[in-house]
Chain A
Amino acid sequence: MTDERRLTASVVVVTKDRPELIGELLESLTRQTLRPDEVLVIDNNSTASYDEALAPYRDRLPLRVVVEATPGIAAARNRGIREATGEIVAFTDDDCRTAPEWLEHLVKPFYRDPHIGAVGGHVEWLGAADNLICEFYRADREALTQ
């Protein structure tokens, strides 16, 4: 970033009982060209333990884990908003992988125009080639983006 005034960015990830997925997401967050100032993992009252999955990233990311007992994605995201300290709050999901320049591109527009309140990015969907349901979703999205 060349701007003098730097916007701080928190990344908020809501997860529930999917510790096996979160590692790959966090791995992709370690490779960001714009390092997040904070990575908040909101555990929506999981019964599974995340300790082992998160351990390798405690030193590599500014990681913070918060447990939100109220079930539901909206309540968990609101907890993320309350806990996040960044001027920009970015959301992604535990079953996603971020491209290396993801955060940089997501934050840049906020510098350009102070009237921008939200920035959305592109989602690439990856599914098993032989799975008919995946093919259904893929065809569905292709029909929308033609």
Chain B
Amino acid sequence: MIIDIARCSFQRGYLPGKKNTVFHPFFATCNAAFRREALDRAGGFDLKCRTGEDVDMSIRVARAGYALWYEPAATVRHVDRHTLVGMLRQWFNYGVGHPYLYRKHVPGPRLQVCRLDTSNRAADPIGVRRLLDVRFPFPGLVGASVFHLFHLALAAALTAAWWGVPTAAWLAPGVALLSGAWYIGLRFDWRRPVRSLALAGLRYTADFAFVLGGLLGGLRHGVLYLALTRTRRQAPST
């Protein structure tokens, strides 16, 4: 399951159903209500969930045959009290929790490669596209994003330099440089360059913690899990 990454943009009404096996729309438990009968049928919250117990519950309520309704008029205000360590821990824990959910809810050993595509929000509110979905010896989810391209190119550049492969030795660093610039560019606002760079740095550390957590959580649950990081434009708010 790809959690947290694509939510929040629903319109008032029924949440989209299970057209997408990778992402399931859900409600965060800081603002959600359940019909008693639906909770009884779905069972309680899963104690094995490190994070995403709310995602798991939403999936089970939906699979028990109930509809999920998003009501934006029911508002709560959440007071953020963030620290850097808290932020890193949160993203790491998101990463660690996802492979368990993925294993639990995506049937069969399949390799799925996904990318975010939110170009058409109206027709596709979830915006997670599957580029590849094939049978595989063990379950795997690989997110295709700039973050991964950057690290792949970086690894290729180092390997090429080590083995002395001339073509790859200039090509790979070029790709790494371009993808790195793209990653920062997604978050860059010329009016606030320093703030933009600082935010891109935070994004990078959060993504790093998230992907690392996903890999480690995946090892524990026998899933190849390369978490899908955000690729949408994220400029500092003015």
A136 lies within 8 A of B202 (CB): yes
Per-position 1/0 for A63-91, Cβ under 8 A of B = 00000000011110110011010111111
In the A-B complex, list the 9 residue pairs whose CB atoms are closest, starting with the nearest: A117-B66, A120-B27, A121-B74, A117-B38, A127-B80, A105-B74, A133-B82, A90-B33, A74-B45
A142 within 8 A of B: yes
B120 within 8 A of A: no
B162 within 8 A of A: no
How far does the Cβ of B81 sit from chain A's closest Cβ, in whole Å? 7
B203 lies within 8 A of A136 (CB): yes
How far does the Cβ of A45 sit from chain B's closest Cβ, in whole Å? 15
Give the size of the chain A interface in residues (CB under 8 angstroms): 65
A106 within 8 A of B: yes
- A: which residues have CB within 8 A of B? 9, 21, 72-75, 77-78, 81-82, 84, 86-93, 95-99, 101-110, 113, 115-128, 131-146
A118 lies within 8 A of B35 (CB): yes
Residue of A113, A127, A134 near B67 (CB, 8 A) is: A113
B47 lies within 8 A of A139 (CB): no
Residue of B36, B53, B61, B77 near A99 (CB, 8 A) is: B77
B199 lies within 8 A of A139 (CB): yes
**Of A78, A98, A123, A142, most B-chain CB atoms within 10 Å:** A123
Task: Give the chain B neighbours of A97 by CB distance below 8 A.
Answer: 76-77, 79
A119 lies within 8 A of B74 (CB): yes
- What 16 new A-B contacts, CB under 8 Å, besides A78-B44, A117-B37? A73-B45, A74-B49, A75-B47, A78-B47, A97-B79, A105-B74, A117-B62, A117-B65, A117-B67, A121-B76, A122-B72, A132-B199, A134-B82, A143-B230, A146-B9, A146-B232
B69 lies within 8 A of A72 (CB): no
B199 lies within 8 A of A123 (CB): no
Task: Give the chain B neighbours of A141 by CB distance below 8 A.
Answer: 8
Bound complex: CA A75 to CA B46 (Å)? 8
How far does the Cβ of A122 sit from chain B's closest Cβ, in whole Å? 4
B22 within 8 A of A: no
A124 lies within 8 A of B77 (CB): yes
Give the size of the chain B interface in residues (CB under 8 angstroms): 69
Bound complex: CA A93 to CA B79 (Å)? 10
Task: Give the chain A neighbours of B237 by CB distance below 8 A.
Answer: 135, 138-139, 142
B76 lies within 8 A of A123 (CB): yes
Residue of A72, A90, A133 near B47 (CB, 8 A) is: A72
A121 lies within 8 A of B87 (CB): no
Residue of A74, A75, A123, A138 near B31 (CB, 8 A) is: A123
Shortest Cβ distance from B81 into A: residue: A95
Bound complex: CA A21 to CA B31 (Å)? 17
B80 lies within 8 A of A124 (CB): no
How far does the Cβ of B80 sit from chain A's closest Cβ, in whole Å? 3
Bound complex: CA A119 to CA B12 (Å)? 11
A77 lies within 8 A of B53 (CB): yes
Bound complex: CA A145 to CA B74 (Å)? 17
B28 within 8 A of A: yes
A126 and B80 in contact (CB under 8 A), knowing A136-B199, A138-B237? yes
Bound complex: CA A105 to CA B83 (Å)? 33
Residue of B33, B79, B81 near A91 (CB, 8 A) is: B33
